[in-house]
Amino acid sequence: MPAAEQATGVSPWDLPAPRRPVIADFNGASLQDDPADPPDWTEMPTSKNFNGQALTLLGMGQVIENAKLSVVFSGGQPVLDSGVTTAGVSHGTQSPVIDGDITVLRTVGGAGLGDVFIWWPAGTFPAPTVHPNAGINGATPGCISADWYTDGSGHSGIRVVTQNASGVATDLPFTTDVP
């Protein structure tokens, strides 16, 4: 048990340097029942209940997506259609999507059609865990790939490449996660 509270009281995604949760965010998840007056588990939470909740949240926090972003084409250009993030729930904060922190454009030096780069300011999300996973929307099936990418301007984000079923570079709407 820590000598003083370590938990911050905010979602770690909303800290100035966003990160995924660590056990200190739950004060060690090491609460103890009072042996002299143990709680009646039928009437109140017990230490195992609280610690189990904390460790479950800690585990989920390692795999939950930082964001999911949908991109469509409007006027021949890729635009952000919708997005949702884990960040922006703490008091006084809002989603990076609402903040306008997500930029969508064609990949400079890329294939042109079907080659989109989504980027955001450094420190918007916790460090990446795995590689991103994207899927095609609309009614035209095709092939899609997505990966972390840094462009010539130093912006970092996700590059998504789409082709039609015959392998021809084609603009197709898509949704990608930000893991």
Partner 1 sequence: MTAETATGISTWDATPPRRPGLGDVNGAAMRFRGEGPFDPRRVPMGNDQNGRALMLLGYAQVVRSGRQTLSFSVFNNDGGHATIAGATPGSTAPTINLMRTPGGAGSGDLFLWWAANAFPPHTVRPRARINSNVPGCICADWYTDIGSGHSGIRVVTQAPGGAPTDMTFTVDIE
CB of 112 to partner 1, least distance (A): 21
Count the site residues for partner 1 by CB under 8 A.
62
Of residues 88 through 147, those in contact with partner 1 by CB under 8 A are 88-91, 95, 133-143
Instruction: Please answer whether residues 78 and 119 qualify as being in contact, where contact means their C-beta atoms are separated by less than 8 angstroms.
Output: no
Q: Please return the burial class of 116, using the count of CB atoms within 10 Å of its CB with bins 0-12, 13-18 and 19+.
A: buried
Q: Which is nearer to partner 1, 95 or 107 (CB)?
A: 95
104 three-state secondary structure: strand
Instruction: Please answer whether residues 176 and 69 qualify as being in contact, where contact means their C-beta atoms are separated by less than 8 angstroms.
Output: yes
Round to whole Å and give the CA distance between 72 and 171: 9
Round to whole Å and give the CA distance between 114 and 68: 19
Q: Per-residue string for binding with partner 1, 10-49, x by CB under 8 A?
A: xxxxx------x---xxx---xxxx------------x--
Element (H, E) at 107: none
Round to whole Å and give the CA distance between 8 and 15: 9
CB of 122 to partner 1, least distance (A): 20
Q: Which is nearer to partner 1, 145 or 150 (CB)?
A: 145
CB of 15 to partner 1, least distance (A): 10
CB of 63 to partner 1, least distance (A): 10
Round to whole Å and give the CA distance between 59 and 24: 13
Q: Which is nearer to partner 1, 88 or 121 (CB)?
A: 88
Q: Which of 96, 114, 132, 173 binds partner 1 (CB under 8 A)?
A: 173
Contact footprint for partner 1 (CB under 8 A): 1-2, 5, 7-14, 21, 25-27, 31-34, 47, 50, 53-54, 57, 60-61, 64-70, 81-91, 95, 133-143, 164-166, 172-173, 175
